[in-house]
Amino acid sequence: MKILITFLFTTLTLFGSDFITPREYAKMLYENPRGISCKKCHGNDGSEQILGYYLKKGVKTPYKIPSIQNLSFEKFKNSLNQIKNAKSIMPNYSLTNEEIVSLYNYISQFNKNKKQQPINTKGVKNDK
């Protein structure tokens, strides 16, 4: 019995720290999803980014990436699920619905206007 308790205790202390909170999970997804990190193009918080500059009719023009903090879940999800047209530099990801919800809630928390409520994995808004 003593051995069993010692065993249980060491396994718990060794592996217990592996559990991460949903927020840590979402942050990890945002920073390192399968493929290239969202952060590389959308910044730390999904706000509008200037990726670089190009010449448009001789005028130095910024290449802007729109903010993704204010999108409805529908729009957010659709743009991650649709196959991008050739002009887009954003990669196609194969994310599950849960991953998209997690990313959406993570990015929405940076939105200062806070119009969105966190949504649950079924894509339905939580009442709380």
Structure tokens at 14: 């060794």
Could you tell me which residues are beta bridge partners of residue 29?
none
Q: Is 62 in the site for ligand HEC (CB under 6 A)?
A: no
CB 45 within 8 A of CB 63: no
Q: How far apart are CA 30 and CA 2, in angstroms?
A: 44
- Given the rule CB under 6 A, which of 13-21, 53-61, 75-83, 111-119 is the region that contacts ligand HEC? 75-83
- Least separation in angstroms between residue 21's CB and ligand HEC is 19
Q: Each residue of 72-102: b (16+ CB within 10 Å) or e?
A: ebeebbeebeeeeeeeeeeeebebeeebbbb
Q: Is 72 in the site for ligand HEC (CB under 6 A)?
A: no
Pseudo-torsion of CA 50, 65, 35, 76, nearest 10°?
A: 150
- Given the rule CB under 6 A, which of 1-9, 11-19, 33-41, 52-60 is the region that contacts ligand HEC? 33-41
Binding mask of the shown chain, residues 87 to 126, with x at each position contacting ligand HEC by CB under 6 A: -xxxx-x---------x-----------------------
The site for ligand HEC (CB under 6 A) is made up of 33, 36, 38, 40-42, 65-66, 68, 71, 75-76, 79-80, 84, 88-91, 93, 103
